[in-house]
Amino acid sequence: MKYVVNGIEYDVIIEKKNNKNTYIRVKEDLKIYVTTNYFVSKGYIKQLLDNNYESIKKMIDKNKSRQEKNNYFYYLGKKYDVIIVPTFDIDITEDKIFVKSNDYLNKWLKKQTERLYEERLDYIYSLFKEDIPYPKLRIRKMKTRWGVCNRKDKIVTLNSELIKYGINQIDYVIVHELSHFIYFDHSKNFWNQVMKYCPNYKEIRKTLREG
């Protein structure tokens, strides 16, 4: 089955199970996956896709944006062309990075990520008036979360992919995770706490959701 979004034809993969409900997802391969009951017809699925056209379009756009970030080099919200040249150091211009190898670039990026995350954690922590522990920082790549707060072990884990975004996004995630030392849920009180140190958090969350 095929489905057209913005004039482009996409494959629709229908997965039939003993489900009561029908679910629509767009994965990284940009195929539309429909999980539904054995007795649901293709006509009903087509109608369902039409009814959820805007949501499907957003899912496709989000995955395309993520693919672009994976295919290009992004650093602190800017896209750079990577130019491999015989050099002993990294030279960054307005839109280009000159480096001797991709391996060297990845090692440089890892060091920059560690340095910057530690600096931002220090700064954001200093803003908090509440009595919260200074957490141990961990950095790792995560598929579904930008940050994790472990209150028991006093650890904040930040997604290494955040380095592709701007300082505002990094700071928001740190504020979010530090706020979990005060409110572990996502209640109204929690979001008021986040707003105290990141007033435009809703706008920043939107940029992160959109990829």
Record the pTM: 0.71
Q: Is residue 108 part of a domain?
A: no
Residues 77 and 66 in one domain: no
Q: Are both 56 and 134 inside the same structural domain? A: no
Q: How much is the pLDDT for 204?
A: 95
HSE-up of residue 22 (Cα within 13 Å, Cβ side): 22
Q: pLDDT tens string for the chain (211 positions)?
A: 899 998 999 999 998 888 788 899 998 889 999 998 888 888 889 998 999 999 999 889 888 877 766 667 899 999 898 899 988 889 999 899 999 998 999 999 999 999 999 999 999 999 999 999 999 999 999 988 999 999 999 999 999 999 999 999 999 999 999 999 999 999 999 999 999 999 999 999 988 987 6
pLDDT at 70: 63
pLDDT at residue 71, as a whole number:
63
Q: Is the dihedral of CA 18, 23, 27, 29 positive or negative?
A: positive
Residues 128 and 204 in one domain: yes
Question: DSSP label at 125?
Answer: H
Within this chain, do residues 205 and 117 fall inside the same structural domain, yes or no?
yes
Residue 107 placed within a domain = no
**In one letter, which amino acid is 33?**
Y
Beta-carbon contacts of residue 161 (< 8 Å; ≥ 6 apart): 69, 141, 142, 146
Sheet holding 2-5, edge to edge: 2-5, 8-17, 32-37, 23-26
Q: What is the pLDDT of residue 111?
A: 96
Same domain, 98 and 63: no
pLDDT of res. 127:
97
- Give the residue numbers spanning the domain of 124: 113-209
Same domain for 132 and 198?
A: yes
133 shares its domain with 200: yes
- Residue 61's pLDDT is 87
Q: For the chain, how many structural domains are there in total?
A: 3
What's the confidence (pLDDT) of residue 69? 65
Kindly list the distances between the CA atom of residue 16 and the CA atoms of 10, 42, 81, 136, 209, in Å, as whole numbers in the listed order: 19, 11, 44, 45, 29
